[in-house]
Amino acid sequence: MTALTLSTSSAATLRADALVIGVAKGPKGPVVAPGAEAVDKAFDGKLATVLETLGASGGEGEVTKLPSPAGLKAPVVVAVGLGELPAKGDGFDEEALRRAAGCAARALTGTKKAAFALPVEDAGSAAAIGEGALLGAYSFKARSNGGAKKDDKSAPLSEVAILGGKPRDKAFKAAAERALAVAAEVNRARDLVNLPSNDLNPKSFAAQVQAAAKEFGLKFEVLDEKALVKGGYGGLMGVGQGSVNPPRLVRIGYTHPKAEKTLALVGKGITYDSGGISLKPAGHNETMKCDMAGAAAVFAAVVAVAKLGLQVNVTGWLALAENMPSGNATRPGDVLNMYSGKTVEVLNTDAEGRLVLADALTRASEENPDAIVDVATLTGAMVLALGDRIFGVMANDDAFRTALYEIAEEVGEQAWPMPLPAELRKSMDSPVADMANMGERMGGGLVAGLFLQEFVGEGIAWAHLDIAGPAFHEKAPYGYTPKGGTGSSVRTLVRLAERTADGDLG
Ligand code: BES
Ligand code: MN
Ligand code: ZN
């Protein structure tokens, strides 16, 4: 992982391989952002003109590299666009800083040390810059051969110094530590999502969680296929039984001695979703290694909470299975006896996420947590509705849904509240079971949410995040978001835990 430091040095004298500065889009052309005064001075006060001549406008995502003039220690200046110049008196938006820092970090692959001289107003903006830089510097190196490709010689940026940070100030120190912990855990989730399904199955996923649990002092429990059969986990077994890689239910627990609240996080962990007997056609299965992104987010969030030592109990439930067709696979028309006692007719084996989540939600409810949040790459319908950057938030409690939506916004994740219309429930009625695993196609993401809701314990506040769109990024990288696994929802879950620890929620 990239190292992060706060520095009081001047942009002119700090030893670094590159100096990152901000440029905003002003009414009459690019404007050099605060933090880069010493750099502008080294350019005889003509930096904005130089940048404009080079074609820079200050627009979001723009990166302009220029050689340093005499007077700067760093040999290269990287000017990164911050977007519209904020109105007088307003600071730069934290997400604009996060994205700009991420862009710069991506442009600095192969560089050792970069100093970020972006506008730092307070600990919050320093944290945003640090987080963005560490997330932008991510590259997938988690395969057992050490690299994504055999000839992969790209070394991510190894050291980030934030100028204008106050290393002896308590708030700044905490902000930097938080940025480091959160970014490391978002990157952990990305690594897990990027691992191909021949490198990650329910058993090896559980082993990774066990190793981390040991490292961070978390309680770890796992149910293997024998225990799942014995315990009556018909949803998890029904989905996993077609694969040579049997399912697992993992529980990781973080507790704080003074905690007043307990949060349960439940993640969909389908390490590969072929669709099962209702096989997905070519064109729909190439990225389905990403179908465990919910479980990865939950795992990463619990570790982040442990690293931060938050005063709240957080239990992570990972519903791990591989959805494959075989002679032993669940058939469309089969009826499963779920862990809750309900029966479910499987009309489509590709609607498998809700089946594994149902068992995990029932199990999580048994411990009577104050709230449950599940995270899942659940439906293509949610991608059709909200596109590939926004996750949907559904809940059995209006205030809790609003809280999650606002928290997502606060940490720079894009989310949108979605309803759970009761009238869609009857489309899941089944003549042979309590319900079917599929209902009407219209509003498919909401139908899936309604299915899950039936497995949440009475009186427990519950929210469902459908991250099918943003979990895996197939287009060109932008801001701090790389191609592939994104770590979607980790930052939202961590902030939810912080807010819960602070007593801000119910
Ligand atoms: N894992 C998929 C959903 C998905 C789609 C995730 C695109 C990421 C990107 C899920 O298991 C699935 O196949 N859902 C079906 C449900 C349907 C059969 C009721 C879907 O959305 O088509
Ligand atoms: Mn599926
Ligand atoms: Zn799936």
User: Would the CA dihedral through 420, 424, 427, 431 be positive or negative?
Assistant: positive
- Per DSSP (E only), the strands in 398-454 are 415-417, 435-436
C-alpha to C-alpha distance for 417 and 375, rounded to whole angstroms: 14
- Per DSSP (E only), the strands in 283-438 are 313-323, 335-337, 343-345, 371-376, 391-395, 415-417, 435-436
Task: Say what the pTM is.
Answer: 0.98
Q: Which string of DSSP letters, residue by residue, matches 207-233?
A: HHHHHHHHHHT-EEEEE-HHHHHHHT-
Q: Residue 470: CB within 6 Å of ligand 1? A: no
Contacts with 301 (C-beta within 8 Å, 6 or more apart), sequence order: 185, 265, 314, 316, 489, 490, 493, 494, 497
Return the structure tokens found at 322: 């591989």
Q: Residue 380: CB within 6 Å of ligand 1? A: yes
C-alpha to C-alpha distance for 405 and 397, rounded to whole angstroms: 12
**Cβ(401)–Cβ(467) under 8 Å?**
no
User: Atom of ligand 1 at shortest distance to CA of 280?
Assistant: 13
Nearest to 341 by CA among 223, 232, 432, 435: 232
Confidence of residue 148 (pLDDT cuts 50, 70, 90): low
Averaged pLDDT of the chain: 97
User: Atom of ligand 1 at shortest distance to CA of 284?
Assistant: 7
**Rounded distance from Cα 316 to ligand 2 centre (Å):** 22
- 224: annotated binding-site residue? no
**Cβ(98)–Cβ(480) under 8 Å?**
yes
**DSSP three-state, residue 187:** helix
- Scored b (16 or more CB within 10 A) or e, 338-356 reads bbbebebbbbebbbbbbbb
Choice from 354, 379, 427 to test ligand 1 binding pocket (greatest atom count within 8 A of CB): 379
Q: Residue 377: CB within 6 Å of ligand 1? A: yes
Q: What is the pLDDT of residue 155?
A: 84
C-alpha to C-alpha distance for 490 and 267, rounded to whole angstroms: 11
Confidence of residue 145 (pLDDT cuts 50, 70, 90): low
Choice from 378, 389, 424, 437 to test ligand 1 binding pocket (greatest atom count within 8 A of CB): 378
Torsions phi, psi for 145 (to 5 deg): -80, 5
Supply the DSSP symbol for 481: B
Nearest CA to ligand 1 atom 13: 350
C-alpha to C-alpha distance for 255 and 477, rounded to whole angstroms: 37
**Cβ(335)–Cβ(424) under 8 Å?**
no
Torsions phi, psi for 10 (to 5 deg): -85, 150
Q: What is the pLDDT of residue 1?
A: 86
Q: Residue 379: CB within 6 Å of ligand 1? A: yes
Name the burial class of residue 233, with classes exposed (0-12), middle (13-18) and buried (19+) by CB atoms within 10 angstroms of its CB.
Answer: buried
**Cβ(266)–Cβ(375) under 8 Å?**
yes
Contacts 24+ apart (CB under 8 A), 501-505: 501/256, 501/259, 501/261, 501/310, 501/311, 501/312, 503/260, 503/261, 505/261, 505/371, 505/400, 505/403
Element (H or E) spanning 145, and its range? none
**Cβ(136)–Cβ(480) under 8 Å?**
yes
Residue 427 reports pLDDT greater than 90: yes
- 152: annotated binding-site residue? no
Q: What is the pLDDT of residue 141?
A: 87
Q: Residue 347: CB within 6 Å of ligand 1? A: no
**Rounded distance from Cα 352 to ligand 1 centre (Å):** 8
Supply the DSSP symbol for 330: P
Return the structure tokens found at 324: 């494959």
**DSSP three-state, residue 385:** helix
**Rounded distance from Cα 292 to ligand 1 centre (Å):** 12
The architecture in CATH of the region 3-163 reads 3-Layer(aba) Sandwich (3.40)
Return the structure tokens found at 445: 């993401």
Q: Residue 466: CB within 6 Å of ligand 1? A: no
In the chain the first and final C-alpha atoms are separated, in Å, by: 36
Q: Residue 294: CB within 6 Å of ligand 1? A: no
Which residues are designated catalytic? Answer: 280, 354
Nearest to 176 by CA among 189, 167, 188: 167
Residue extent(s) of CATH 3.40.220.10 domains in the chain: 3-163
Mean pLDDT, range 420-429, rounded to an integer: 98
- pLDDT-wise least confident of 138-152, 193-207, 434-448, 461-475: 138-152
Selected from 3.50.4.10, 3.40.109.10, 3.40.50.2000, 3.40.630.10, the CATH number assigned to the domain covering 191-501 reads: 3.40.630.10
Confidence of residue 149 (pLDDT cuts 50, 70, 90): confident
Identify the nearest ligand to the CA of 379 by its number: 1
Tokens 């009625």, residue located: 429
Residue 202 reports pLDDT greater than 80: yes
Nearest to 375 by CA among 484, 289, 454, 296: 296
Choice from 268, 289, 350 to test ligand 1 binding pocket (greatest atom count within 8 A of CB): 350
pLDDT in tens, 234-293: 999 999 999 999 999 999 999 999 999 999 999 999 999 999 999 999 999 999 999 999
Nearest CA to ligand 1 atom 16: 351
**Rounded distance from Cα 274 to ligand 1 centre (Å):** 10
% of the chain with per-residue pLDDT over 90: 95
Strand-pair partners of 19: 77, 115
**Rounded distance from Cα 176 to ligand 2 centre (Å):** 39
pLDDT in tens, 483-505: 999 999 999 999 999 999 999 98
C-alpha to C-alpha distance for 391 and 445, rounded to whole angstroms: 11
Identify the nearest ligand to the CA of 474 by its number: 1
Q: Residue 352: CB within 6 Å of ligand 1? A: yes
Q: Residue 255: CB within 6 Å of ligand 1? A: no
Tokens 């930097």, residue located: 176
Nearest CA to ligand 1 atom 9: 468
Nearest CA to ligand 1 atom 7: 380
**Cβ(312)–Cβ(501) under 8 Å?**
yes
Number of C-beta neighbours around residue 423 at 10 A: 8
Nearest to 268 by CA among 496, 501, 498, 488: 488
User: Atom of ligand 1 at shortest distance to CA of 291?
Assistant: 1
Residue 479 reports pLDDT greater than 80: yes
Residue extent(s) of CATH 3.40.630.10 domains in the chain: 191-501
Tokens 């605060």, residue located: 34
pLDDT in tens, 293-348: 999 999 999 999 999 999 999 999 999 999 999 999 999 999 999 999 999 999 99
C-alpha to C-alpha distance for 471 and 451, rounded to whole angstroms: 21
- 273: annotated binding-site residue? yes
C-alpha to C-alpha distance for 133 and 78, rounded to whole angstroms: 13
Return the structure tokens found at 34: 């605060």
- 388: annotated binding-site residue? no
Q: Residue 488: CB within 6 Å of ligand 1? A: no
User: Atom of ligand 1 at shortest distance to CA of 278?
Assistant: 18
pLDDT in tens, 14-30: 999 999 999 999 999 99
